[in-house]
Structure formats: C-alpha cells, structure tokens
C-alpha cells in the first residue's frame, strides 16, 4: 500500500479516564470511503493524542479538534491518509489493523444507536401532527371551559 487512501473517521470529546475533570479526544473508528462497515478501535487504542499522532498532522483533523470542545460531542469526517500513514491502519491486503490488532467490523447505524442512544421521550413522537393538534385542541377547550366565568345577565 504505497498510495494515499481516503477514509472516514469518528473523533469524539469524552472524559479523560485518568481525570474526571478534564476531557480528551478519542478516535472511535475508521471506515474506507464509500464502505458500509466501520472498524472500531478498542478502548486502549482510542486516545488520539497518544496513539494517533500522525493524524494530528492532517489539517482537517486539526480543525475538527478545535471545534470539538463540548464533552460528549463527536464528528465524522472524511480525510485522506498520506501514503506513509496508510500502513499504520491497513495491512498489505487492505484489512483494517492497528498495532498488529485487527479491528472489529461493525455496522455504522448499530454503533450510533449503541453509543449515542436517543433518550426515552426525546425521540420523534408516534402521533401524527393531526392527532397532536386534536389532543391540544381538546385540552385547550377543557381549560377554557373551566376558567370562563359566567357573565352576569343584564336586567332591562
């Protein structure tokens, strides 16, 4: 593999495992551009600053790190690995490997749902907008009926 390779990577900002008061950047997975599968790094290989120093030289990665300031945030970005960096992430047969560890294949949507699940009650409502409007109208009618005071009748 002696040529540059386009990939997508996921970089996150999470709690530092050694200091709960500080945050760190992590490289969660790598994906071949146009591929359907992601290759997930095990926790011991995710620390970006200590394990993936060569990626820190790529301008897009540098820019993304500046924007990832909030803990729990992540970015999925496309980058081109320089020819000298490709062997750090792929073997001669194109398999995704890091420090002689063959990375686990995962489905991207499954990874997102496992890693960043939608909190209960925060997802899209099951009711259609018409049903929601009808329910709101019914509540408003009940509230209006209980708060309206009868007007005194005029005697003429």
pLDDT band at residue 141 under the 50/70/90 scheme: confident
Judge contact between 9 and 27, C-beta under 8 A. Answer: yes
Choice between 152 and 110, residue whose per-residue pLDDT is larger: 110
Statement: residue 137 has pLDDT above 80: no
Please give the residue that has the higher pLDDT: either 25 or 137.
25
Which helix (H) or strand (E) is 35 found in, with range? none
Positive/negative CA dihedral, 23, 28, 33, 34 = negative
| pTM of the predicted structure, to 2 decimals | 0.70
């Amino acid at each position: 593999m002696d040529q540059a390779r386009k990939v997508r990577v996921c970089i996150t900002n999470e709690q530092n495992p050694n200091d709960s008061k500080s945050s760190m950047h992590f490289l969660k997975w790598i994906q071949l551009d146009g591929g359907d599968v992601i290759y997930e790094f095990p926790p011991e290989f995710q620390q970006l600053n200590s394990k993936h120093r060569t990626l820190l030289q790529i301008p897009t990665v540098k820019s993304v790190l500046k924007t990832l300031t909030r803990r729990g945030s992540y970015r999925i970005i496309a980058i081109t690995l320089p020819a000298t960096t490709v062997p750090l992430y792929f073997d001669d047969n194109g398999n995704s490997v890091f420090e002689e560890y063959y990375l686990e294949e995962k489905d991207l949507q499954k990874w997102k749902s496992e890693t960043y699940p939608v909190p209960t009650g925060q997802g899209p409502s099951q009711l259609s907008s018409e049903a929601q409007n009808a329910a709101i109208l019914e509540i408003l009618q009940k509230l209006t009926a209980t708060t309206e005071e009868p007007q005194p009748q005029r005697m003429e």
